[in-house]
Amino acid sequence: MTDPKHQSTPSPSHASQPSDSGKIANKTTCKPDLLPTPQQIVEHLDRHIIGHRSAKEMLATACYDHLVTCAMADMTGDDVWPDNHVILAGKSGTGKSAMLKVLGRYLGIPVVEIDCSNLSPAGYRGINLTHVYNDLEERLVESGLTRPAVLIWEEIDKLRSTVDEAGRYREMIQVDSLRFLDGALCGSDGTLDPTRILCIGCGAFGGIDQIRNPDLVSRIGFNSARNPSHGSGQYTPPSLDPEHLVKFGLITEFVGRFSRFALLDPIDHTVMRRIITESESSVYRRKVEQFRLHGVRLSFDEGALNAVADLTMKHPVGARGLRLILSRALAPWEFQLPHLAEQGVTEIIFNEAAVLGLKEPEIVRASSEEGNSIPLLEARRKAASKSPSQRDEGDDLCLF
């Protein structure tokens, strides 16, 4: 999910959806010259990311505390303590990375990602944390001062240690990170101050549910109920705690550098349906805006929206599957999109059968032809920045 500058309005055929149960009804106003409060940060996240209330609150509080502490240090010369680092656990496609990118844009701070699955221990061939620190120093240090930033440790669960050689290799990377997480100066010039960088570890942590709640493990026989003492469907597994991550395979010293741990909610059909229609960053809204820019109204009725949600739930990539489902349904119409308005098409209406590919969507035409909109023509001119001769010559490709 991205954070588009436009905010399109859903079709009137969309049914209203319930808001998050924990959302505060009275919204606060953010003054442009003040850092948003944690509540204001969560309210902004709610516009783009559906659900995950507790994770949003924890993340908003961590970012607010970190930025205020950095600002106070600039004013007083005091040290910044690296005690706000967060770990977010959730299945792929639940919104971890999207939440952090929306947050970075809203707060106006740099958000940098490192892929833990591609890291090597210090002294071994490949990209190690020393390379990461040098890059961060180049990006974030200005006049000897490190800009406050967020560093996303993507796939942090891939650092789990095991008894085999690969596991010991990954454990070495965890050890390499300890001084950085503690706030020791690093970088090629020794000017990168990690205390001004909020670290957010993101990962799916497959199997963590069984560690948090052993009763989720399937059993055979008369005692096969998941948690008979709590009743079917009524038991909420315990929160994510440091000991769960240690049992998962992260070393105690590494986990101890993080102070906040949050679980993202699983995505069911209801949540997926809300992601489609309520999130201002949803791919569905971007598709509607794309068609509107070309002078064509794109509509999905209730059956079509439910079908999109059902098809997306069948894919293991969570909300990212929306791109696939919508792209497949819209492929022939997107191909013709620049010419549809010229042909008199004003609206394309999808029902369930059209989403499933069983029939064509309903096409509404106007009596007179309509040309492309002025913003679209301007965008096409800007995209065609090269002359035909330059396009014929082509550009060299640089492969790394």
Structure tokens, 371: 């040309």
Q: Write down all domains in the chain, each with its CATH number in brackets.
A: 38-263 (3.40.50.300), 269-381 (1.10.8.60)
pLDDT of residue 97: 87
Question: Rounded to two decimals, what is the model's pTM?
Answer: 0.76
User: Contact 221/119 with Cβ under 8 angstroms?
Assistant: no
pLDDT tens, residue order, the chain (400 aa): 434 333 333 333 334 333 343 333 344 555 568 999 999 999 999 999 999 999 999 999 999 999 999 999 999 998 899 889 999 999 888 889 889 999 999 999 999 999 999 999 998 999 999 999 999 999 999 999 999 999 999 999 999 999 888 899 999 999 999 999 999 999 999 999 999 999 999 999 999 988 988 775 544 443 444 444 444 444 444 589 999 999 999 999 999 999 999 999 888 899 999 999 999 989 999 999 999 999 999 999 999 999 999 999 998 888 889 999 999 999 999 999 999 988 999 999 999 999 999 999 999 998 655 556 667 777 777 777 654 555 444 444 433 2
Residue 12, pLDDT score: 36
Per-residue confidence (pLDDT) for residue 384, from 0 to 100: 73
Tell me how far apart the alpha carbons of residues 141 and 189 are, in angstroms, rounded to a whole number. 10
* Alpha carbon distance, N-terminus to C-terminus of the chain: 27
Under 8 Å CB-to-CB from 178, ≥6 apart: which residues? 253, 254, 257
Please tell me the distance from the alpha carbon of residue 258 to that of residue 278, in angstroms, as a whole number. Answer: 33
pLDDT for 380? 73
Q: What is the model's pLDDT at position 13?
A: 38
3-state SS string over 38-96? Answer: HHHHHHHHHHHCCCCHHHHHHHHHHHHHHHHHHHHHHHHCCCCCCCCCEEEECCCCCCH
pLDDT for the residue 238: 54
Backbone angles phi, psi at 170, to 5 degrees: -70, -35
- At 22 the pLDDT is 35
